[in-house]
Structure 1
Amino acid sequence: MGQADLSVRVECYAGYQGEETPRRFFLGRRSVEVLEVVDRWLAPDYRYFKIRSGDGSIYILRHDVASGRWELTLFDSGKREETRLSST
């Protein structure tokens, strides 16, 4: 069974230090506005961003620094209390 392609197109703001921060991303034709970057962290080959959208959903985006590719690694709509991410 093949793995689903979870790549997304991301529009970023580049700050004065050149670090890119997601402002909007696209899931197919759907545009998702970033309301808040809740958290960010580094791994050896990736940069991660935990994002809250305008509808209150939480997404984790992963940026492959070498290739420039972005992927969606987690989605939480927040509609079910028992599945809500604890750090949101």
Structure 2
Amino acid sequence: MGYACGAPDLPWRSATVLGPEGLTRSQASCQSLLGGLADLNERNTWLTWRITQLERRLSETRGQDAWRASGLGAPGDIDVL
């Protein structure tokens, strides 16, 4: 997914003073924003994965509890017999 910085009405696009590495402030700001966006996208991907993992664990746990409560499975202490 590509993003472009270039809307002329944005305040950070109006500066033309050279900044670090010979970039204009608007170019540096654009790169900074794109870097922040990439970081946020990565974080969002990780959070989505983690939520899915936790939902799966919760579902399994609740399913096991419901199975035990129903009495349809073997008793938990069958190994003792």
TM-score class, shorter-chain normalisation, is under 0.3
* Structure richer in strand, relative to its length: 1
When normalised by structure 2's length, the TM-score is 0.23
Instruction: Tell which has more relative contact order, 1 or 2 (C-alpha 8 A, sep 6+).
Output: 1
Larger radius of gyration: 2
When normalised by structure 1's length, the TM-score is 0.22
